[in-house]
C-alpha cells in the first residue's frame, strides 16, 4: 500500500499518539475530534512531546517540523471521504463507536478501511454496524503510543485477508510490532492486565495492604516498572472499570466482577492522573 492518507477520529491521549507515530512514519494524517479546542489540545500534546525529544537530542528539529507538517486538523467528519484508512480512538463505548462507524460508512468511499483502537470491545460487533464488515479491523495501540511497540491486530468474523495485511503493513511502517489475536473480550492485553489491576483494588478494599504497599510489592517483587494501582491511575479508573464491565458482560464469569471500590472511586470522580486523584494524588496539568 503506497502512502495512504490516515484519518484519526479522537484527538485525546490515544488518538494524538497514533497521529504522531503515523506522521513520523511519513503518512499524511487528518486529525479530528468533536471540537476545535480538543483538536488543538491534541496537536499541542504532540508538539510538546516532539519538543522534549529535540531537547534530549533524540530527534532533530527538522524532523519535528516535518512530522507536525503532516498532521492536518480537520473540524468536520466529512473529511473522512479523503482518507484511505480511518482509525477511531474515541470513548470505549459500543454504541458511541458503532454510531461513529455508521456515519463514516455513509461518508467514506467503498475502499476505505475502518480500524478501531478499542481495547476490549468485539470487532465483529463493531463491523456489523457498517455495510463493509470485511473492511473493519481492530488495531489496539498501547499507551503511551509513541513509546510502546505493541499493536494488537484483531480480525472480525468478516475481516478480509487483504485488510489484515494492510493493517499489519501500516503497523510496521509506524515502527510498531503487530501481534494477531482473536476477537474475544479484552483480547490478550486487557484480559490479563485488567483482572490483575482489579485484584490489586480488591487487596486494598479487603484491607490486605495499603495502596502504597500493593504497588511496592509488585514493583520490587515482580519487577513491574509501575505498581498496578499507579498504572490504573495512569490508564484512567473509568477506563479500567469500563473494560472490566466488558469482560464481565462478555464472559459472564464472576472472576471479572469489578471491585466495588473501583466503582466507588469512578462515581466520586477520582479517575486517576487526569482528574488529579485516583489511588494516588497528582498535580493536574503535570505531564
Which entry of 140, 198, 242, 275 is annotated as an active-site residue? 140
Active site residue 152: yes
Calpha distance 276→233 (Å, rounded): 9
Percentage of the chain with pLDDT > 70? Answer: 98
Q: Residues within the annotated binding site? A: 10-15, 33, 92, 97, 119, 143, 274
CATH 3.30.360.10 is right for the domain spanning 6-182:
no
Report CA 105 to chain centroid distance, whole Å. Answer: 21
Query: Which residue ranges make up the annotated binding site for NAD(+)?
Result: 10-15, 33, 92, 97, 119, 143, 274
44 is catalytic: no
Computed on alpha carbons and rounded to an integer, the radius of gyration of the chain in Å comes to 19
**Structure-block grid coordinates of residue 17:** 499518539
> Sign of the CA dihedral 212, 213, 218, 222?
positive
Mean pLDDT of the residues in the chain: 96
Q: What are phi and psi of 27, to 5 degrees?
A: -80, 145
Tell me the pLDDT band of 270, cut-offs 50, 70 and 90. Answer: very high
The alpha carbon of 252 is separated from its chain's Cα centroid by a whole number of angstroms, namely: 25
For the chain, what are the domain ranges?
6-182, 190-275
CATH topology (fold) of 190-275: 1.10.1040
CA distances from 153 to 56, 106, 115, 170 (A): 32, 25, 10, 11
Q: What are the beta bridge partners of residue 30? A: 7, 72
Instruction: Give 163-219 pLDDT, tens digit per residue.
Output: 999 999 999 999 999 999 999 999 999 999 999 999 999 999 999 999 999 999 999
Q: Quick check: 285 pLDDT over 80?
A: no
Query: Among 116, 119, 242, 275, which one carries the catalytic annotation?
Result: 119
Amino acid at each position: 500500500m503506497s502512502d495512504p492518507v490516515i484519518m484519526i477520529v479522537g484527538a485525546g491521549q490515544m488518538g494524538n499518539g497514533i497521529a504522531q507515530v503515523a506522521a513520523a512514519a511519513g503518512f499524511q494524517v487528518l486529525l479530528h475530534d468533536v471540537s476545535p479546542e480538543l483538536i488543538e489540545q491534541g496537536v499541542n500534546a504532540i508538539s510538546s512531546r516532539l519538543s522534549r525529544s529535540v531537547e534530549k537530542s533524540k530527534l532533530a528539529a527538522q524532523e519535528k517540523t516535518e512530522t507536525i507538517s503532516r498532521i492536518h486538523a480537520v473540524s468536520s467528519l466529512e473529511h473522512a471521504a479523503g482518507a484511505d484508512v480511518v482509525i477511531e480512538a474515541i470513548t470505549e463505548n459500543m454504541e458511541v463507536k458503532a454510531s461513529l462507524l455508521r456515519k463514516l460508512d455513509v461518508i467514506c468511499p467503498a475502499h476505505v478501511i475502518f480500524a478501531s483502537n478499542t481495547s476490549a470491545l468485539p470487532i465483529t460487533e463493531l463491523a456489523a454496524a457498517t455495510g463493509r464488515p470485511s473492511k473493519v479491523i481492530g488495531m489496539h495501540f498501547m499507551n503511551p503510543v509513541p513509546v510502546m511497540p505493541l499493536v494488537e491486530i484483531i480480525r472480525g468474523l468478516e475481516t478480509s485477508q487483504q485488510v489484515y495485511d494492510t493493517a499489519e503493513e501500516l503497523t510496521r511502517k509506524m515502527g510498531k510490532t503487530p501481534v494477531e489475536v482473536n476477537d474475544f473480550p479484552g483480547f490478550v492485553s486487557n484480559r490479563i492486565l485488567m483482572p490483575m489491576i482489579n485484584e490489586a483494588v480488591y487487596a486494598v478494599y479487603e484491607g490486605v495492604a495499603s495502596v502504597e504497599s500493593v504497588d511496592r510489592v509488585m514493583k520490587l517483587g515482580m519487577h513491574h516498572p509501575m505498581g498496578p494501582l499507579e498504572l490504573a491511575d495512569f490508564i484512567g479508573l473509568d477506563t479500567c472499570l469500563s473494560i472490566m464491565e466488558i469482560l464481565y458482560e462478555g464472559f459472564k464469569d464472576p472472576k471479572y466482577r469489578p471491585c466495588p471500590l473501583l466503582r466507588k472511586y469512578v462515581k466520586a470522580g477520582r479517575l486517576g492522573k487526569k482528574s488529579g486523584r485516583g489511588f494516588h494524588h497528582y498535580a493536574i496539568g503535570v505531564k
